[in-house]
Amino acid sequence: MTEQTLLERPLAVPAYSARTSTARRRLNGLLPYAFVIPPALYLLVFMFWPLGKQIYLSLTRTRLANPNRSTFIGLRNYERLLDNPDFYTTLKITLIYSVMAVIVGVAVGLVAALALNRPFPGRTLVRGILLFGWAVPNVAAALVWLWIFNERSGILNTIVTGLGLERVSWLTSTEMALPSILLVTVWQVSPFVMLVMLAALQSVPEEVKEAAVVDGADKLNVFKSVTLPHILPTLQLVSLLVMVWSIRRFDIIYLLTGGGPVGSTSTLIVKLRQVAFENHDLGLSSAYGVVGLMLALSVAAIHALFNHRRQKMSSR
């Protein structure tokens, strides 16, 4: 197909403009680069350079007090990491936190999208309200949630005591801190999931659903046979995004619990800050960062693998 159009092109150019068109074609050939260079530069300066720097730092002993003097120590930081039981706890918490954020956040968002996908009066208003959580800046949201979770005067405990139950230490007990943080995360992530899934749901061809109805499928089978396969790629992409965001999430956790109590909400990124700015160990904290990066990359790789397989399947 491309071959054909490439072959056809010169024929379509009238003879008298042969010169200008050669120049133009050369320009056209360069044009894509012109568009790509600015973002590439941006990525280079603000992403890859710091990234390279971080990876380098993780191979050195560097103290916060004197970040410019670092001694190369090879993989020693990683050895320290693997010998430290704290690291495994951190890794476990990160995984629990991000996997749960994906499962609950995506499920809530999807159900909301399904509910909003059918017409009912006041739909636009409800959609606007549900988007609220996503629109509020993280720091502001975290501060609001601090009030909600407040043990003495927070609304949650007012409700709980109203129901005749004991006050709950939402953010200050090791059992409740992570679920509480997950609650805020879901509150924040699911509107985004809902919005994206709603767009995907609206692109499901109506006639195919109707065909399934005529073929005798009940509602659930229409969903499983038509809707779900159609929105699956989007669902997967959204899950990837939520997963990666959760691995990187800092603000909410730091503001609500600071990683405590006793490290029970300390994900890799929160731990990274602690090691860097409380223990002044830039080298080790960089190693934490690199582990986080690996985690995010492997999730992305799994996603790419799925995508590739699906594309191969559907083009058969």
Partner 1 sequence: MPQITMKGVSKNFGDVTVIPQFDASIDDGEFLVLLGPSGCGKSTLLRMIAGLTGITSGTLGFDGEDVNEWTPSRRGVAFVFQSYALYPHMTVRENIAFPLLMDAFRKWHHIPLVSSVMRWKLMRRPDIVERTNQIAEQLELTPLMNRRPASLSGGQRQRVALARSLVRDPSLYLLDEPLSNLDAKLRTQMRSEISTLHQRVRKTFVYVTHDQVEAMTMATKIIVMNRGEIQQIGTPDEIYEHPANTFVARFVGAPPMNLLPVRQQGQQLTLEAGATFTHPGQLPADKELILGLRPERLRLQPAEQPGIPVEVSVVEKLGAEVILGCRVLHPGGGQSGDLLRQDLVFVRISGNPHVAIGTRASLGYDAAGVNWYSPQTGKALHPAAAPLLSCSA
What are the Cα distances from residue 168, in Å, to 93, 201, 256, 290?
A: 21, 39, 15, 36
The correct pick among 13, 114, 160, 208 for binding partner 1 (CB under 8 A) is: 208
The correct pick among 13, 103, 136, 213 for binding partner 1 (CB under 8 A) is: 213
Cβ closest to partner 1, residue 222 vs residue 253: 222
Does the footprint of partner 1 cover residue 316 (CB under 8 A)?
yes
Cβ closest to partner 1, residue 166 vs residue 206: 206
The correct pick among 2, 68, 124, 315 for binding partner 1 (CB under 8 A) is: 315
For residues 242 and 305, give the distance between their C-alpha atoms in angstroms, rounded to a whole number: 18
Cβ closest to partner 1, residue 67 vs residue 205: 205
* Burial readout 189-212 (b: 16 or more C-beta within 10 A, e: otherwise): bbbbbbbbbbebbeebeeeebeeb
Does the footprint of partner 1 cover residue 55 (CB under 8 A)?
no
For residues 52 and 64, give the distance between their C-alpha atoms in angstroms, rounded to a whole number: 18
Contact 91, 263 (CB under 8 A): no
The correct pick among 64, 217, 255, 300 for binding partner 1 (CB under 8 A) is: 217
Does the footprint of partner 1 cover residue 230 (CB under 8 A)?
yes
Cβ closest to partner 1, residue 28 vs residue 311: 311
The correct pick among 13, 160, 211, 255 for binding partner 1 (CB under 8 A) is: 211
The correct pick among 205, 277, 278, 305 for binding partner 1 (CB under 8 A) is: 205
The correct pick among 171, 212, 242, 268 for binding partner 1 (CB under 8 A) is: 212
What are the Cα distances from residue 264, in Å, to 86, 177, 242, 249?
A: 11, 7, 21, 15
Cβ closest to partner 1, residue 226 vs residue 287: 226
Does the footprint of partner 1 cover residue 224 (CB under 8 A)?
yes
Does the footprint of partner 1 cover residue 225 (CB under 8 A)?
yes
> Tokens 């280079």 — which residue?
44
What DSSP line would sit under 255-310, residue for residue? HHTTT-STTTT--HHHHHHHHHHTS-BHHHHHHHHHHHHHHHHHHHHHHHHHHHHH
For residues 12 and 15, give the distance between their C-alpha atoms in angstroms, rounded to a whole number: 9
Contact residues: partner 1, CB under 8 A? 205, 207-208, 210-218, 220-221, 224-226, 229-230, 313-316
